[in-house]
Chain A
Amino acid sequence: MSSRGRHDLLFILPSLLLLGLLGLPLLALIARAADRDFLSHALSASALAALRLSLGTSLACVLITLLLGTPLAYVLARWKFRFKPWLEMLIDLPIVLPPSVAGLALLIAFGRRGLFGPALSAIGISLPFTTVAVILAQTFVAAPLYVRAARVGFQQVDQQLEEAAHVEGANQWQLFREVMLPLVGSHLLTGAILTWTRALGEFGATILFAGNLEGVTQTMPLAIYLGFERDLGVAIALSVMLMGVSILLLAITRRLETKN
C-alpha cells in the first residue's frame, strides 16, 4: 500500500464514523416504520390533525416571512445607517438560540402576564394556547433564515445595474420589482424553503409558548414527542412523513442552488 493510501484512511475513517452517526438513526427509523401498520398510523385522526396544523401554520409563517422579511432584507442589503451591524446580529440571534429560550422569551413578552400582555388583552387579544402563537413561535425561529438568504441575494446584484435603472427614471418600487426581484428570485425561494423546513420542525418554542392541544397547537413535532409515550407507531409514522417532506424540500433547494 502506498503511503498516500494509508493517509487516505485518516480521512475515510472519521468520515465514516460521522456518516454512521448521521445516517444510521434515520435508516433505523425507516426500517422500524416499514410494517403493516404504517398506513393506519399515518392516517390516524391525531396524525392527520397534526399534519394539517403543521402545514397550515408553517405556510402562514412562510407568507408572513415573505411579506415582512423581503423589505427588511432589501433594507439591510442596500441602505446605510447606524447600528446596522447590531440589527443584523439581532436578526441572526434566533438562528443560534435554543428554541426553548425563544419560547420562554415569547411567553415573557406576549404571554398574558408578559411585558406586552396587559396591552394585548386591553384590545382583546390573548396569544398563548392559540394557533396564532404557534405561527409566531415558528416565525421567530425560522424567519431569520429567509432574511439572511434574501440579504445575500440582494447584495450580489451589481449596484451599477441599479444606478442605471435610476438614471432611466425608475423609482425605488419599480427598481425593486423589475430589476431586483427577477435577479434574486431563486435566492428568495431558497430562503423561503429553508424557513419552511425550520418552521415545520419547530418544537421547543411552540410547546412552551403555545402549549399542546390536538387540532389547535399540536403540530407534528409535538405529536411525535407525545406520541412517543402513547403510541410509538404513530410517532414513528409521523417522523418518517416529516423526514420525507424535509428530503423533498432539500432536493428542491439543491436544484435551485446548482442553477444559481
Chain B
Amino acid sequence: MMKRPALLVALIALLVTACGAQTPASVGPGTELRTLTVFAAASLTDAFEELSAHFEAAHPGVRVSLNFAGSQALRTQIEEGAQADVFASASGEEMDALVTGGLADAQAPAVFLSNKLVVIMPADNPAALESLEGLATPGLKLVLAAEDVPVGNYSRQALDLMNGAYGTDFKARVLANVVSNEDNVKQVVAKVQLGEADAGIVYTSDAVASPELQKLEIPAEVNVIAEYQIVPLLRSPNLALAGEFIAYALSADGQAILRAWGFLPPQ
C-alpha cells in the first residue's frame, strides 16, 4: 500500500523532467542550445528547410524549428498567442494585421522575395489543358487555395485580370469549375500531383519543387506578383537571433538558396 504514493511521485517527477527537457541544455563547453521558432508560408517549405539547415550549420547550438502553413493560418496562431520568433508571410495583408495588433514593429517587415502564379496539371494532363482559356471549359476539375490563403487571393486577382483578355464572365466560368478550396498551396499541389484535379493555380516556386507536373505559364500582363515579407515578432525572447536569421535570408548567400527554389528577387 505504501509503495503506491511513491510510484505516483516518481511518475510525476518523470513527467516534470520530461516537460523541462525543452529548456536550454548545454551541448558542449560554453555553447548553449537555443531554439529559433520560424513560422513560414507553406510555399516556403522546401526553400526554408534548406535555408535553416545552412543557418544551423553556421550557428552551433542553434536549432531552427519550422512551422509551415497558409500565412493566414500562421497569423491567426500568432494572434492567439503561439510562441514564434520569426514570421515569413506570402502576403503583406497578414503582416499589416500583426503590426496593427502590436505584434510586430511597423518599420520591421522586409520584403525579401517575390513569386508569381502558374497553372499546374498532372504529368499526363488528363483534361488536355493547352491554354488559359481552357480553364473555363465546363467539367474541368480545378483546385484553388481558399480565398483567405494568400495564393488563393492572388489567383482570384489574376482571374479578374483575365476577364479583360478572355471575356467579362471568364472569372465566373473558371470559378464554377472549382471543386475544392484548399487550406494552403501545398494541398493544391498534392491534389494535382495525385491526379484528382485536372489543374490548379500555384506559385512558380511550387512548380520548381514538383518538376514532374506540367505547367502553363501565365503571361505577365494577367499575372499577379506575390511579395513575401519577413519580420521578427516583438514577443520573441530571441530577438537578436531572429534578427540574425532574417539578415541571413536577405544576404546574398541566403537569397541564392531561396532563388534556387524558384523564388524571384523582391520586385
Contacts and interface: CB of A to CB of B under 8 A. Distances in A.
A217 B195 contact: no
A43 interface: no
Contacts of B5: 7, 10
A166 interface: no
B181 interface: yes
B76 A211 contact: no
Interface in A208-260: 211-214, 217, 225-226, 228-230, 232
B180 interface: yes
A226 B146 contact: yes
Contact of A229 (B76, B179, B195): B76
Contacts of B178: 213
Interface string B55-98: 00000000000000010110110000000000000000000000
- The range of chain B's interface size is 20 to 34
Contacts of A111: 194-196
- Which residue, of B5, B70, B178, B196, has the highest number of chain A Cβ atoms within 10 A? B196
B186 interface: no
Contact of B180 (A129, A228, A230): A129
B39 to A, nearest CB: 13
A112 B193 CA distance: 12
Contacts of B76: 228-229, 232
Contacts of B70: 229
A128 B181 contact: no
A229 B73 contact: yes
B116 interface: no
B227 interface: no
Contact of B148 (A10, A112, A213, A226): A226
Interface string B115-156: 000000000001000000000000001010010100000000
Contacts of B215: none
A212 B180 contact: yes
Given A226-B148, A230-B148, A113 B183 contact: no
A137 interface: no
A7 B3 CA distance: 12
Given A213-B178, A226-B148, A228-B73, A129 B183 contact: no
Contacts of B194: 107, 111, 113
Contact of A213 (B4, B75, B180, B196): B180
B128 to A, nearest CB: 15
B148 A211 contact: no
Contacts of B191: 211
B183 to A, nearest CB: 6
B196 A212 contact: no
Given A112-B195, A226-B146, A211 B179 contact: yes
Contact of A129 (B8, B126, B179, B195): B179
Contacts of A10: 4-5, 8
Contacts of B160: none
B196 A128 contact: yes
B195 A212 contact: no
A57 B209 CA distance: 37
Nearest to B147: A230
B105 interface: no
A225 B196 contact: no
Contacts of B75: 229
Contacts of B148: 226, 229-230
30 contacts: A7-B5, A10-B5, A107-B194, A111-B194, A111-B195, A111-B196, A112-B126, A128-B179, A128-B196, A129-B179, A129-B180, A207-B183, A211-B143, A211-B179, A211-B180, A211-B181, A211-B191, A212-B146, A212-B180, A212-B183, A214-B181, A225-B183, A226-B146, A226-B148, A226-B181, A228-B76, A229-B72, A229-B148, A229-B183, A230-B146
Given A14-B8, A113-B195, 14 more contacts: A10-B4, A10-B5, A107-B194, A107-B196, A111-B196, A129-B141, A129-B180, A207-B183, A211-B180, A214-B181, A225-B183, A229-B148, A230-B72, A232-B76
